[in-house]
Structure 1
Amino acid sequence: MKIIFAGPSLPDAASLAGEAVRVLPPATQGDVLAQVEQGANVIGLIDGGFEYAAPVWHKEILHALSLGVTVLGAASMGALRAAECHPFGMIGIGRIFEDYRTGRLVDDAAVALMHAPSALGSKPLTIPLVNVGATLDAMADSGLLAAGLRERLEDAANAIFFKKRTWRAIVEQCAGIVEPDRPQLLVTLLSNSIDQKRIDALELLKAVQDARDIRSNADLPWKLHSTAFRTRSAL
């Protein structure tokens, strides 16, 4: 059985996954463990809850890995957990994972965004910092940003709470721009916007689709010690 946990990073995951991959809502604490106990052989973690529910616990990922389950992470909560658990065998995918793994990104708030409820398709409503960074990098490389403007835009984005961060809010808060230039800058940002979370999530989905639906028997260089984590009420 193959599972992916997806939400605003890949709202259309169910229509893209195919019959061999089951798509579940963003994971919270205990969800990975539950799928392992139900027979999952491959688990792709993209999105996860964090604000109103306890997030996916590292120990349940390690438990899955200790049983030979292939666990992959990308884009959002998956990238965070993969950066933390890749030394133990979790597979990280995409630019966002690499940025966390190498220390280019440190703050987990860089992947946070506000989105519509699942009943309305989990559509992203604000812009996460990882998408801001990817967009500004590409525009700077293409010569679309004047000297110093990239840094000012990034500073403005960092100063805005994730539930209020939109391209319009970033442009309005950016220092050093004369008012007549703001509308055109907004148009340029919108037309060149890069959804890095979606790019990474699609890469993970492809990896899950291509993975063998079987648990590995490979010996691990570490041992998961028995603790009381599986009996905790939250799980």
Structure 2
Amino acid sequence: MKVIFAGPTLHGANLPPSTDYELRPPARQGDFFGAIQDGANVIGLIDGIYEYVPGIWHKEILFGLSQGVHVFGAASMGALRAAECSAFGMVGLGEIYEGFVSGVLENDADVAQSHGPAEMGFIPLSEPLVNVRATISQCFQRSQITSAEHDQLQDAAKAIFFKDRTYRRVVHSAIQHADRAGAVLAVLRANNVNLKLHDAQLLVETVMSTPDCRFIPDFSWTFEATSVWNGIFAIVKPE
């Protein structure tokens, strides 16, 4: 059994039809453990929920690894957790993951975005900073915006709260001239770089190509079921 946790990052993605994995909503605390208990042998983490409920716990990931579950992370919450847990065996994928590992990215706000509910397909309602930064940089490299506009747009994007960050908001915060602002907005939208989606697609491909079986754990660490762990995730053993 293979499970991928995803939401807004994969919204509108043209993924090949497959029965090779089960797509579940963004993970919250307990969902990862639940997938393992359901029999998942391979888990891919893309999106997670953390604002109104407890986020996926690192110890859930360590538990999965201790049970021989292949665990991959990319694009969003998955990239964050992979950077934090790579030393224990979680595998990170993609440019965003590499950014967190190298220190180029340091904040979860870099990948955060507002989105609609499951009933609306987790439709994105704001733009994640990693995508906006990449888009602005690409437009500058193509000489579609000036050096000054590049710097002003990057500063504006970083200063806007993640729930409020849209290309319109970024442009109108950075460029005062109405006609030029309209032109720049059109350029950014036409050249949008969806870095999160690119990394997420890489994870999907990796999960699909990974054998649907667990590995034999051989780590230098041992999973410790602490009292806190047992209080949250009491494992019922068969009689």
- Shorter-normalised TM range: over 0.9
Match of 2:214 in 1: 215
Match of 1:87 in 2: 87
Distance 1:145-1:234 versus aligned 2 partners, 3 A rule: farther
Match of 2:184 in 1: 185
Q: Verify the 8 A CA contact 2:139 2:187 in the aligned structure 1.
A: no
**What displacement does 1:64 show?**
0.5
Match of 1:75 in 2: 75
Match of 1:35 in 2: 35
Which residue identity lines up with residue 112 of structure 1 in the other structure?
A: A
Q: Verify the 8 A CA contact 1:111 1:130 in the aligned structure 2.
A: yes
Match of 1:224 in 2: 223
**What displacement does 1:17 show?**
5.6
1:180 & 1:234 partners in 2: Cα distance? 57
2:17 & 2:98 partners in 1: Cα distance? 24
**1:1-57: CA deviation from partner (whole Å, max 9, x where unpaired):** 100001000025796461110010000001111111111100000000011110000
Q: Verify the 8 A CA contact 1:29 1:234 in the aligned structure 2.
A: no
Match of 1:110 in 2: 110
Give the gaps of 5 or more residues in structure 2. Answer: 235-239
Distance 1:226-1:233 versus aligned 2 partners, 3 A rule: closer
Distance 1:60-1:185 versus aligned 2 partners, 3 A rule: same
Q: Verify the 8 A CA contact 1:9 1:197 in the aligned structure 2.
A: yes
Distance 1:77-1:35 versus aligned 2 partners, 3 A rule: same
Q: Verify the 8 A CA contact 2:69 2:215 in the aligned structure 1.
A: yes
Question: Normalising by structure 1, what TM-score?
Answer: 0.94
**What displacement does 1:66 show?**
1.1
Please tell me the root mean square deviation across aligned C-alpha atoms, in Å: 1.7
Match of 2:237 in 1: none
**What displacement does 1:140 show?**
2.5
**What displacement does 1:80 show?**
0.5
Distance 1:115-1:149 versus aligned 2 partners, 3 A rule: same
Q: Verify the 8 A CA contact 1:17 1:205 in the aligned structure 2.
A: no
Q: For residue 36 of structure 2, give the secondary structure of its aligned residue in structure 1.
A: helix
Match of 2:205 in 1: 206
Give the gaps of 5 or more residues in structure 1. Answer: none
1:66 & 1:31 partners in 2: Cα distance? 17
